[in-house]
Chain A
Amino acid sequence: MLYREVGQYKTSYGADQALFPILQDRIGITVILLFAFVGVPLTASSFTLDSVLIPVLVLSLAATGLNLLTGFTGLLSLGTGGFMGVGAFACYKLTTFFPNVNIIVLILCSGFFAAAVGTVFGLPSLRIKGFYLAVATLAAQFFLSWCFIRIPWLYNYNVSASIEVPTKTLLGIPVTGPTASPVTRYLIVLSIVALLTLVAANLVRGRIGRTWMAVRDMDLAAQLIGIRLYQTKLLAFAVSSFYCGVAGAMMVFLWLGNAESESFNINQSFLILFMVIIGGLGSLLGSFLGAALIWGLPIVLRAAPAFFGLRIQSATAEQASFVIVGALIIFFLIVEPHGLARLWQIGKQKLRVWPFPY
């Protein structure tokens, strides 16, 4: 009843091929965007912005990148952390070389460096597939981690091998550094993530996305109908690494304020991979849901005892959160192996026929 499409006629091909053809969807996305851009900055606390919303947005962009590679093209990659690091260190070096250029431009440009590195490490993808490609990307992860600490030029020869973010302003308002307010940083992160998600949505619905999905489903058949495998796979690596690079640059410049080689280690790659798997492979909404669950759940678990007035030692809460997150991951994969996005799809379908069961 709520999702009835009856009466919504399309009179042009353009309207039929719109991103949100159903009126209810358009209303829904407008409400969500209004709430995100206007409602949240007005109501959220500094802690919620700094430690919940900004990280979830940054990580969901990285998850979108990995989803394009693993979910849409079927190329399993464990190098996400390394590609995020390439974007972060590239952005840092760009601010050193071009201190007067707008930081948002630099963040987007650092994605291109990550894309170049991703393409190089995607070269084995024509010869090897599946699990073996995962190991090749694992090699990329370890190699990049090694680079971040053994190439002093990358961190401007700092003794501590960590990079600190200088204060940059936009229209006179500081946007990076300790004086930047959480609201400013949140709005910039949200804008970049919204823009890049729109680009990704159009990519996956168009010719390029279909070639990726064809490669995922059966690359031999795709090759037979004329899809050029090598170019498609390399393009997938490039675009995915671009997204991961921008996410890495935002992680350092707009969230943490500093980083070292350990911030982009193998655990970061696994974290993003879990977000994509839980959220749903091959779904952009899934990246957001997965990021929100994997990042938000430990925070909720840590805050829950205090909320209910129970006094639990912080170490116990930490260990309990490990156990509960792990158990929930297994539980979700049993209940719905296609991830949270599939749960939303099922929910939407139920809403279409509600109050009838079918």
Chain B
Amino acid sequence: MHLKKLALSAAAASVVGLSASQAVAQDTLFVPLFTYRTGPFANSGIPIANGMHDYFNMLNARDGGIGGVKLAIQECETGYKNEKGVECYDSVKSKNPLVITPYSTGITLALIPKASVDRIPVFSMAYGLSASAVGADFPWIFNPPATYWDGMSIVLKYIAGKEGGFANLKGKKIGYIYFDGGYGLEPIPLLDQFAKEYGFSVTKYPVPPAQMQNQSGLWLSVRRDRPDWMVMWGWGAMNPTAVQEAAKTGYPMDRFIGVWWSGSEDDARPAGAGAKGYLSLNFNAVGAGYPAIKDIEKYVIAKGNSQTPKGTVGDNFYNRGVMNSAVIAEAIRNAQRITHKKVVNGADVRRGLETLKISDERWKQLGLPGFAAAIQVTCQDHNGHHSAYVQQWDGTKWVKVSDWISPMKEKVLPLLYGAANDYVSKNQPWPKRTEACDDKTL
């Protein structure tokens, strides 16, 4: 009887909605992190979340924040689901967040129209909507250092290099295995255009999100089709399954190249020795031998203020998260410099992101020498179309096997502007840009 009463009152209480009532102190820089430590994409999401969170904690512990103002970091669990992402956004938007990092192309697409209305910038580092590189149409969205189309052109440049020139691509077969969602579908127009131009054929292998761990039939088709190269645009549980299946069906691993989101150690390790030779793009360095990362170990991990498991510091995706936070921190510093305020808001950080200039020298000053290519964002170009390099799995770690390859901007930019115009025309009325440009390029 008592148990029934308890059950009834629990049911009654659960019908009432509680608004998230976490108080954020006034004099802090609030940065929400949309992470996923649960769900089928957690294997990719956890190291990135650790890297992002640890770098900010290090800045708080070592420097007392940015410009003397502490950072308030709050993780919101999205599980890579759009509804949860939108719910996280709704719960944080009234607390003056400085920037949103959704870490999901789907959630980014959902938030793009809301960002300019709520005046909160969205920083989707090398993911999201590629067309948001056009600053005139998307003043509140930023996606340095490179778009998916840049990545595809870099992959094709690498393949052409290995085949002895673009002319030798004629007649070759390239297989494209991709996550059957916005993330994997985006590069397809560029791939098809290149196929027509250079005379190679493309076979597409979509992997539905519900079937990510069930790719054996798909890889048997790959074995039957025998493409010369396989390009992968995978995420979460899809990556290690694909690498394992490729190894099982005997696909030559040194002809299997994944985009920068398919390059985690956890993607290649489960296949054991069979993954040796697997290639992946990357735009940040791997390894823990950088002064900033050593600071993280000293100020954050040693003090027990981190969820990072031992031995994963310096992993590729951990460093990706560190880079994400480092760029955000630079943008906040920029914002403080431009507005002469210490406690900045979202609109200020938008200006900070739009004037982002991280040179090689600056990376050195940040304690990350040679960690990534120089990044430059302008009002017109919210991306920069910077280079990436190719790394190869040698059985235990990633090894850089190419120079920094620049994307084919002359092919990518027309597509980008076309896609931006397409998006704007399909989503009328799209607000015209009213934000002023700080570097006079617009």
A residues sitting closer than 8 Å to B (CB atoms) are: 45-48, 50-53, 55-56, 149, 156, 158-162, 164, 166-167, 177-179, 256-263, 265-266, 289, 292-293, 296-297, 299-300, 302-304, 306-307, 313-315, 317-319, 322, 328, 331-332, 335, 340, 343
| Alpha-carbon distance between A263 and B84 when the two chains are bound, in angstroms | 11
Residues of A within 8 A of B426 (CB): 156, 158, 164, 166
27 A–B pairs (Cβ distance < 8 Å), ordered by A: A47-B19, A47-B90, A51-B87, A53-B17, A149-B180, A159-B186, A160-B181, A161-B185, A177-B113, A178-B114, A178-B118, A256-B86, A258-B110, A260-B106, A262-B82, A266-B210, A296-B14, A296-B15, A297-B14, A300-B13, A300-B16, A313-B307, A314-B76, A315-B35, A315-B77, A331-B7, A332-B7
Contacting pair A306 B22 (CB below 8 A): yes
**Assembly CA distance A314 to B109 (angstroms):** 23
CA distance A62 to B96 in the complex (A): 35
Interface centre among A51, A159, A256, A257 (most CB of B within 10 A): A159
Q: Quick one: which of B387-442 are within 8 Å of A by CB?
A: 419, 426-429
CB distance from B138 to the nearest CB of A (A): 13
Contact B113 A257 (CB under 8 A): yes
B79 touches A318 (CB 8 A): yes
The answer for the CA separation of A274 and B35 in the assembled complex, in Å, is 27
Residues in B with CB closer than 8 Å to A158 are: 426
Residues 319-351 of B at the A interface (beta carbon under 8 Å): none
B1-36 Cβ-contact flags toward A at 8 Å (1 or 0): 001100110110111111111100000000000010
In the complex, the chain A residue whose C-beta lies closest to that of B23 is A306
The interface residues of chain B lying within 8 Å CB-to-CB of A292 are 14-15
Contacts of A289 in B (CB 8 A): 11, 15
Chain A residues, CB < 8 A from B429: 166-167
Q: Which residues of A contact B74 (CB under 8 A)?
A: 314
How many residues in B have their beta carbons less than 8 Å from beta carbons of A? 57
Which residues of B sit under 8 angstroms from A48, Cβ to Cβ? Answer: 17, 19
Q: In the complex, which of the residues A162, A178, A318 contacts B77, with contact meaning CB atoms closer than 8 Å?
A: A318
Whether the pair A299, B419 counts as a contact (CB closer than 8 A) is: no
Q: Does B83 contact A (CB under 8 A)?
A: yes
Out of A46, A156, A314, A340, which one reaches B11, CB within 8 Å?
Answer: A340
Please tell me if the beta carbons of B181 and A343 are within 8 angstroms of each other in the complex: no
Please, which residues of chain A bring their CB within 8 A of the CB of B15? Answer: 289, 292-293, 296
- Complex formed: what's the CA distance from A226 to B433 in Å? 67
Contact A315 B37 (CB under 8 A): yes
